[in-house]
Amino acid sequence: MKVTFGVKPGSLEDTLSGIAGIMTNVNNGVKWATEVACATIYEASVDQVPKDTYTLAESAFWKVERRTELSSKSYRYRGIVGYGGNGDPINPKNGKHASQYAAEVHEDLSIHHRNGKAKFLEDPLREFAESGELYKLYLSAVKRGLNRR
C-alpha cells in the first residue's frame, strides 16, 4: 500500500497548513464512509423488517451526526440507523407508535413473520462488518483523504 501525504518541505506555516488540509480530507472521508455505511445497513434492514402493516418499514431512518461531546472541534461522527422516525407512525393493528414496539419485534425470535424477520437491524450490521466491507469502506475513505491534494 502506498500512501502519500501531500505535504512538501518548506516553512512551518506551509507544513502545518498542509497537515490541516490532510486532516480535513480524512475527516470528510470518514463522514462520507459513515453515511455510506448507514445507507447500506438501512437498505438491508428495510428489506428484512417485518411488513405486516409496513409501519416499521415506514418509520425506518438513518442519519450521521458530528460528535461534539468531547470537543466542539471534534470531527468524530456517529451513524444512527433505527426505527421510530419519520413521524413515528402508528400501527393500525395495535394502535402503538413504531418506537413503542420496534425493539420487541426485533428481539423476539419466537414469532414467525410472513415477510420479514427478527434481528432485522442487527443482522445487516453484523453481516456488513463480518464480511470485511465495513473495514474496507473506512480504509478507502482514509486512504483517499491522505492521497488527496
pLDDT digits 0-9 by tens, 28-55: 889 999 999 999 999 999 999 999 999 9
Out of 60-74, 86-100, 134-148, which region has the weakest mean confidence (pLDDT)? 60-74
What's the pTM?
0.84
**Residue 139 within a domain:** yes
Structural domain count, the chain = 1
**Residue 103 within a domain:** yes
Is residue 142 a contact partner of residue 34, using CB atoms and an 8 Å limit?
no
CA pair distance 117, 107, nearest whole angstrom: 10
Q: What is the span of the domain harbouring residue 70?
A: 12-147
**Residue 111 within a domain:** yes
Mean pLDDT of 61-68: 91
CA pair distance 71, 73, nearest whole angstrom: 5
